[in-house]
């Protein structure tokens, strides 16, 4: 997994509650059997005026100038500022893959949907929950100041404003450890192989009916 320690970058304000995974990456792009290449189709239905197709040349598609992401001042953004319940809907990991592929490293929101939140950590993308009032203030500041940047310091667990002011955030300590060190979940779990095998043996004796699926 990709490591995360600190990230400083332009902030894109996406002022909309309940952004769902169809909004983040529409279903036609889920047909890919790869993990990469979703960036050009992030927020596809809002970013472009036409309907996107997996094999289309996105560079020639008409852009929706009204969509915030298309404003030149937000080019190259790596921090996403969002509203409540971000990432609701499907379990598609293509959503964090698309955000990551576009270049986002962190997302700030008052709340996230569970599966999406979880999927982010698996992809080196840091979702940060902040109070609604703090998020409200950030929206005001970001929209008022061109080139507004935030620094996310995972080790210190703070978001640093351009003024140097620090906003502390909570993060699960185990997930923090994995992100800071780029640890692979599967490798970690397999260190517990003996415990898994022991559990399985007991469970099979106790509930053999869960082990009856065979071809």
Partner 1 sequence: MSSKTLYDKIWDAHLVTQRDDGTALIYIDRHLIHEVTSPQAFEGLRLAGRKPWRADANFATPDHNIPTTAAERRAGIDGILDPISKIQVTTLDDNCNEFGILEMNMNDIRQGIVHVVGPEQGATLPGMTIVCGDSHTSTHGALGALAHGIGTSEVEHVLATQCLMAKKAKNMLVRVDGELPHGVTAKDIVLAIIGKIGTAGGTGYTIEFGGDAIMALSIEGRMTVCNMAIEAGARAGLIAVDQSTIDYIKGRPFAPKGELWDRAVEAWLGLRSDKDALFDKVVELNAAEIEPQVTWGTSPEMVVSVNGSIPDPAQEQDLSRRESILQALKYMGLKGGSAIKEIKLDTIFIGSCTNSRIEDLRAAAKVVEGKKVAETIELAMVVPGSGLVKKQAEEEGLDKIFIDAGLEWREPGCSMCLAMNADQLGDGKHCASTSNRNFEGRQGFGGRTHLVSPAMAAAAAIHGHFVDVREL
Continuous H helices in the chain: 21-24, 44-47, 94-102, 114-121, 132-144, 173-181, 185-190, 193-206
Least distance between partner 1 and beta carbon 200 (Å) = 7
Q: Using CB under 8 A, which of the segments 50-58, 63-71, 144-152, 160-168 binds partner 1?
A: 50-58
Pairing between strand 149-153 and 158-160?
A: antiparallel
Strand spans (E) along 6-87: 6-13, 79-81
For residue 198, give the 3-state DSSP assignment: helix
Cα 36 from Cα 170, distance rounded (Å): 29
The residues in 176-215 that bind partner 1, with binding defined as CB under 8 A, are 185-186, 188-190, 192-193, 195-196, 199-200, 203, 207-215
Q: 78 or 111: whose CB is closer to partner 1? A: 111
Cα 24 from Cα 105, distance rounded (Å): 15
Contact with partner 1 (CB under 8 A): which of 140, 162, 170, 174?
174
Contact footprint for partner 1 (CB under 8 A): 16-18, 20, 22-23, 26-28, 30-35, 45, 51, 54-55, 83-85, 88-93, 96, 111, 113-115, 118-119, 122-123, 172-174, 185-186, 188-190, 192-193, 195-196, 199-200, 203, 207-215
């Amino acid at each position: 997994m990709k490591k995360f320690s600190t990230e400083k970058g332009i902030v894109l304000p996406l002022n909309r509650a309940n952004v769902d995974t169809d909004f983040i990456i529409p279903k036609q792009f889920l047909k890919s059997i790869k993990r990469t290449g979703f960036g050009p189709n992030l927020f596809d239905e809002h970013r472009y005026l036409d309907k996107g197709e997996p094999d289309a040349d996105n560079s020639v598609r008409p852009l929706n100038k009204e969509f915030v992401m298309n404003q030149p001042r937000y080019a190259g953004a790596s921090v996403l500022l969002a509203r409540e319940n971000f990432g609701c809907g499907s379990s598609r990991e293509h959503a964090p893959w698309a955000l990551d592929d576009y270049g986002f490293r962190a997302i700030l929101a008052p709340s996230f949907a569970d599966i999406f939140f979880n999927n982010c950590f698996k992809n080196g993308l840091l979702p940060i929950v902040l109070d609604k009032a703090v998020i409200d203030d950030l929206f005001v500041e970001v929209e008022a100041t061109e080139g507004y940047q935030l620094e996310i310091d995972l080790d210190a667990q703070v978001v640093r404003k351009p003024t140097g002011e620090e906003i502390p955030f909570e993060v699960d300590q185990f997930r923090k450890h994995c992100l800071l060190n780029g640890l692979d979940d599967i490798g970690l779990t397999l260190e517990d192989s003996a415990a898994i095998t022991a559990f399985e043996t007991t469970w099979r004796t106790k509930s053999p009916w869960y082990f009856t699926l065979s071809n």
